[in-house]
Amino acid sequence: MAKQSNHEAHVGHVTSPTTYLIAAGALFVLTALTVGAAFVDLGPLNDLVALLIAGTKAAIIIVVFMHGRYTSGITRLAMVAGLIWLALLILGVMDDYLTRDWLMTPS
Amino acid sequence: MVGHIVTFVQHLQAHARQLPRLGRAGSAFLLALLLVMVGTGQALAQAPEGTANANPTLTTMLGITMGVLGVGLLTAVLISFVVWATGTRNPLIPTDEEMEHSFRRYFWFSVDHKVIGIQYFWTSLFFFFIGGLMALLVRWELAQPGLTFTPDQYNQFFTMHATIMIFLFIIPMLVGAFGNYAVPLMVGTFDMAFPKLNALSYWLVPPGALIIMAGFLAESGTAKAGWTSYPPVALQGGAGQMLWLLGVFVLGWSSIVGGMNFLVTIMNMRTKGVHYFRLPLFVWAIATTAVLAVLGTPSLAAAVTLQFMNIAFGFPFFDAAKGGNPLMWQHVFWFYSHPAVYIMILPAFGIVSEIIPVFSRKPLFGYRALVYATAGIGVLSFLVWAHHMFASAMFPWLRIPFMLTTMLIAVPTGIKIFNWLGTLAFGKIRLETPMLFSLALVSMFVIGGISGVFLGSVPVDLHLHDTYFVVAHIHYVLFGGSAFAIFGGIYYWFPKMFGRMLNESLGKIHFWLSFIGFNVAFLPMHAVGALGMPRRYADYDIAFTELNLTISIGAFLLGFAQLILIYNMLRAFQVGKVAPANPWNARTLEWLTTSPPPHYNFEEPLTVDHDPYDYGRRISSPEALPVPGD
């Protein structure tokens, strides 16, 4: 076991084509779902559903295609840093976006 | 001087005769670049102004289609480069070993970090003069009230001045040229971690630059909404604006690729004995800059992509008439572009931190504090961006946290300034040209930093927003800071890079003329700004005439002074003294090898047992170091 992980650490994990094909298939299905969801009016849930599907797709790409599942340490830290920075941007923008109407302007 | 130029041209001609045929791959690459430039420019020129609001006509659609084809072609060119970079293909391309001693390696896809550094060096210097020319056109217009150029031309000049200076001079010079050349040497290794990726990051710069420059061929001219490209004005820009967005996207790509490479190199390629707290400050600065580039630039890429789709395909992102939000651009743009200011200044601080101990013969005061300050500035730089938007009617209370984070940046910056002063105190100071430029940075950056604190304060900013005070501030930071450090770095590392010493007297003349020209040009801008002269206007009230004339005279003096630098460099190639391995008696690792270094930098792997700034300590006099070639 130890020998195997040492080997993996050296050459990197090899993902089987089946896994890639399943992941690619899932991406196509989710894309179809995005298009389908666009034709159904879910009211306030519209954005939420679209973002959930997009987030799932991004997660599949990060975990499978970018080998996020098999990397460790600093590479994983780099991936998480990207997410944190995105959160930081969204947080700052939403601060402004959600409070802009609070300003009382003479009508 | 004419004699030197003639000799230099003859030198170039002699080398040109040795150039082989470029070969099929090279010709295809150059042809593709040309097609991207002319094709995209002309195709997008078909698109009428404000495409977003126009009905798509046949010509518009044709223009957009050809524009997309142009981008596709560029992608194809880059993919073919990657195919080559992966190995086996293309026997037409000579290897590094084949051209190790040939001048032509500077014109090809070399993977040697020193060659790439020098490629970046000359490319950036070329654009420094193009950007400077744009600045002089701006100052020519503003020397007197009234119009010499049309306002439309004027808008293009100042937009391209800032774009070129930021994206094609300061960033590629500090990170691309000095970073590439010095970092592997300073950590004692033979090359960057990913040499081919390194070549890619350089070779993305010329296409990016050509795409931006292609805007000048467009019917409606190049980008004219300022380098910040705020909607709604930017959305009316048409072809030039679209090319600007594409070009910035490509340059951002180069930045991300380069940033990753620096991080991996600094983490994994340090030679034996160089632990993190033995890294020179310049390496720390480049590491922090790389983090900023890797985490921030994707945000810029997103912003320019959205604006491109807004203009080209009528998407509503920033178009209020269609339910979009113009202020969203400012958020996403500044989320990158404020850290970008630190991408432009941290390596400059790094250069000064190298030069000051060498020319004071003292250990760097507070090494660890400087490291933490560098990292602290890096983190804080992502938390301040909305201070550019104080005047944008954001909810008033929300401005306070951004004001506080902005003020907070003065703390790590102050630590740096005081540590430099602490290094200078009681030192054996040698006032050679690199030191003069470093001292200029310390003093001028204090002025730029303090005017930054003014602007970070909400009530003051509301008065000074978009006036010449902001222009004065940014030039004290980016010319008095970054550009002076670049000049200091040129005088400091030129002997290592090219094996020749620059003339010291010419260097001093260059320094004093630059220093005087700089202050004559930018100090009065504080006054005209505080008096209310807005920036980005081609004309002004006659009350500002004298001050503006003074500014223009200073600007032309500053421009003239840079010719001395060029003359000094050309002269050094012809008659300059041959540089020894360690002309400054410095202790960082790049001086332990010959000038210029051999192909793999060091004759044998180094083991380091000293700190980089051990000057004046009995156990480690520089003379005790083994220095080849001395």
Q: Which of B266, B359, B350 is nearest to B622 (CA)?
A: B359
Of the two residues A45 and B628, the one the predictor is more confident about is A45
- What is the structure's pLDDT at B462? 94
Tens digit of each residue's pLDDT (9 = 90 or more) over B495-506: 999 999 999 999
Residue-wise pLDDT for B429-446, tens only, equals 999 999 999 999 999 999
pLDDT for position B25: 54
**B58-to-B62, B64, B239 alpha-carbon distances in Å:** 6, 10, 16
Interchain pair B382, A103: CB under 8 A: no
Per the prediction, chain A carries an average pLDDT of 83
Give B109's Cβ-side CA count (13 Å radius): 26
H or E element in which residue B63 lies: helix B58-85
| ipTM metric | 0.79
pLDDT in tens, B382-436: 999 999 999 987 888 889 999 999 999 999 999 999 999 999 999 999 999 999 9
Which candidate, B101, B96, B113, B107, places its Cα nearest to that of B590?
A: B113
Residue B573 or residue A6, greater confidence? B573
The pLDDT value recorded for residue B19 is 40
Residue B502 DSSP code: P
Of the partner residues A88, A96, A100, the one whose CB lies closest to the CB of residue B386: A96
For residue A33, the number of C-alpha atoms closer than 13 Å in the C-beta half-sphere is: 16
Measured between CB atoms, which of B267, B296, B395 is closest to A103? B395
CATH superfamily ID and name for B29-84+114-624: Cytochrome c oxidase-like, subunit I domain (1.20.210.10)
Angle B117-B492-B586 from CA coordinates, rounded to 5°: 110
Select the residue from A89, A95, A97, A103 to test the B interface by mutation, using most B Cβ atoms within 10 A: A89
Taking an 8 Å cut-off on Cβ atoms, the answer to whether A100 and B385 are in contact is: no
- Rounded (10°) CA dihedral B126, B130, B131, B133: 140
Strand partners, B240: B222
Would the CB atoms of A74 and B393 count as touching at under 8 Å?
A: no
DSSP A65-101: IT-TTT--HHHHHHHHHHHHHHHHHHHHHHHHHHHGG
Which pLDDT value is given to residue B1? 56
Task: Summarize pLDDT for B254-310 with one digit per residue, the tens.
Answer: 999 999 999 999 999 999 999 999 999 999 999 999 999 999 999 999 999 999 989
Residues in chain A with CB shorter than 8 Å from the CB of B295 are 81-82, 85
Find chain B residues with C-beta within 8 A of A54's C-beta: none
Q: Could you tell me which residues of chain A have a Cβ less than 8 Å from any Cβ in chain B?
A: 74, 78, 81-82, 85, 88-89, 92-93, 95-97, 99-100, 102-103
Cα nearest neighbour of B396 on chain A: A103
pLDDT for the residue numbered B4: 65
| Calpha distance B297→B478 (Å, rounded) | 19
Nearest residue of A to residue B332 by CA position? A89
Greater model confidence, B311 or B97: B311
Substitution target in B265, B268, B295 with the highest count of A β-carbons within 10 Å is B295
Position B71 confidence tier, pLDDT thresholds 50, 70, 90: low
Cα R_g (chain A), whole angstroms: 20
Closest CA to B176 of B219, B118, B112: B118
Q: Domain segments of chain B: what residues?
A: 29-84+114-624
Q: Which residues of B touch A89 (CB under 8 A)?
A: 299, 331-332, 335
Across A57-66, A91-100, B187-196, B221-230, least confident range: A91-100
Residue indicated by tokens 């500053």: B558
Yes or no, beta carbons of A89 and B335 under 8 Å apart? yes
Q: Is pLDDT at B15 greater than 60 in this prediction?
A: no
Q: Do B385 and A99 touch (CB under 8 A)?
A: no
Region of B23 on the Ramachandran plot (φ > 0 left; ψ -120 to 50 alpha; else beta): left
In this prediction, residue B495 carries a pLDDT of: 96
- Euclidean distance between CA atoms B505 and B499, whole angstroms: 19
Residue B621: the pLDDT is 45
Give the pLDDT band of residue B22 (cuts 50, 70, 90): very low
CA–CA gap between residue B493 and residue A77 (Å, rounded): 35
B331 interaction partners in chain A (CB closer than 8 Å): 89, 92-93, 96
- Given 3-state DSSP classes, what are the helix, strand and coil percentages for chain A, each rounded to the nearest 5? 80, 0, 20
Query: Encoding tokens for residue B268?
Result: 């994994």
pLDDT at B69: 57
C-alpha atoms less than 13 angstroms from C-alpha of B12 in its C-beta half-sphere: 9
Task: Identify which of B333, B325, B331, B339 has the alpha carbon closest to the alpha carbon of residue B294.
Answer: B339
